[in-house]
Amino acid sequence: MPWASVNIPKPATGTTFTYKIGFFKNEGAGAPSWWPADNNAVTYKKKMLTTYQVANFNPATVQHFPHNDYARKPTDGVTYENWPWAMQTGLSEGFHILRARAFLNRGANQAPLYQTFTQTFYYDAQTPQGVLAFPATNNATVGGSSYEMVVRTDMTVQEVWYSINDSDTNNDDTITKQQNGNGIGFEPFVDADADGAWDSGETFTDLNGNGTYDASLNPTWAKATEVTPNPSVISSQPREWRFTYNNIPLTGAGTVKIRLVEASSSRNFSLDAAAAHVGEITRAILTQGNAERILIGFPANDGDTVDDNYTMQVWFPKSISNPSITEAEMISRFTFFAQGNAQDRTGWSINYGSFGPGNNFHQLSIPLPNLYNTAFHQQEFRVVYQDPNDDEKTYTAIRRVVVNPGTKPFTRITSPAVS
């Protein structure tokens, strides 16, 4: 054996320094394959070690069958045996599995004995890729009472987060008390006791990675919702995520930052994009919002969970109501679409008190019917206000929520079965 040396930092004065040296003999250097024929042989072989390696494996250039088969590319006018192999160059980003088999040394005509080892690994040569499909260009104008932004990403993205910086501070999350990802805001939390504030013990997302709940962060971030990709969105990226820019300022400009987070990314948003290993999209926008708008006050966040015990609260500006419009007339101006289906207005009521940002809103209460639908994990709740005397006055508010099964007694006819 050649001489070997290591450098060990000098221990502090007075500490006891101990060390242990281990050796192994590499089987590849000539030791025989060891057949585990009896207890002693098994005990002995357990002390042995052999190292194998796949020499010069390059994940970026390896030729392989992506579906672990021997597929061929169908080719017109060519017999099947001559179709080219359907192979891919380089591993795709993301999770893969490595299987290795260790065979015992058996005779030529004996059944092989082997053990299979499996190991998943994450191939991560680049940060997630994606595009902001709407608005697609810098300095595009976003208007209306709200604007739905559409992000398309590759398959490795686990979460999409966004942060909006605009010319208005009154639409910041700290003011609206909603998770709109606007300006200065708070860390998202599950409001278990529904008191509108974070309390010790309530689950929260630690946006700045400091281990404690922050009620004020500049800037804040909110999470976009994954939706079924809409075929009308032309993009080579397969997955689609949406979020709504609410409370768009009347004038001015702003910036929307979007982070694409993969399994190996940091969720600490105080790190820059490179340090957090995220994909980041920055889009400059011009804002041209409506002076009047409606808001969904509760549920306050996209991704919140509701059921048929829940009452949705919609805020509308005091300025669009006046004593000559009765409560019933006012209610009839609103339509609530759950996943595109207009719901009837049973039980709706209006509170003409002060609600929402600046206390400038009245409140429409919509007790939810049982909207549970196994086909949708999340549903789009869309509330539309239409002034019957002015086509231009159409205001829309959107939330994406998880709908739980109904909690109230119901009758299910089991016989005769539905045919």
Q: Which residues bind Ca ion (CB under 5 A)?
A: 93, 124, 166, 168, 171-172, 182-183, 191, 193, 195, 199, 206, 208, 210, 214, 262
**Shortest spacing between CB 20 and Ca ion, in angstroms:** 39
Nearer to Ca ion, 37 or 194 (CB): 194
Q: What are phi and psi of 207, to 5 degrees?
A: -65, -30
**Shortest spacing between CB 62 and Ca ion, in angstroms:** 17
Contact 237, 136 (CB under 8 A): no
**Shortest spacing between CB 60 and Ca ion, in angstroms:** 13
**Shortest spacing between CB 407 and Ca ion, in angstroms:** 21
Nearer to Ca ion, 240 or 262 (CB): 262
Q: What are phi and psi of 390, to 5 degrees?
A: -150, 105
Nearer to Ca ion, 94 or 369 (CB): 94
Nearer to Ca ion, 199 or 329 (CB): 199
Nearer to Ca ion, 166 or 240 (CB): 166
Nearer to Ca ion, 184 or 402 (CB): 184
- The CA-atom distances, in angstroms, between 366 and each of 33, 194, 381, 383 are 76, 18, 12, 10
Provide the token pair at 58. 């390059």
Contact 256, 132 (CB under 8 A): yes
Provide the token pair at 363. 């409140």
**Shortest spacing between CB 198 and Ca ion, in angstroms:** 6
Which residue's C-beta sits nearest to Ca ion?
Answer: 183
Nearer to Ca ion, 154 or 380 (CB): 154
Strand partners, 384: 335, 396
**Shortest spacing between CB 211 and Ca ion, in angstroms:** 7
Contact 399, 302 (CB under 8 A): yes
Please give the Cα distance from 64 to 58 (Å, whole number): 12
Nearer to Ca ion, 149 or 371 (CB): 149
**Shortest spacing between CB 118 and Ca ion, in angstroms:** 22
- Nearest by Cα to 355 from 308, 301, 300: 300
Please give the Cα distance from 305 to 261 (Å, whole number): 23
**Shortest spacing between CB 215 and Ca ion, in angstroms:** 9
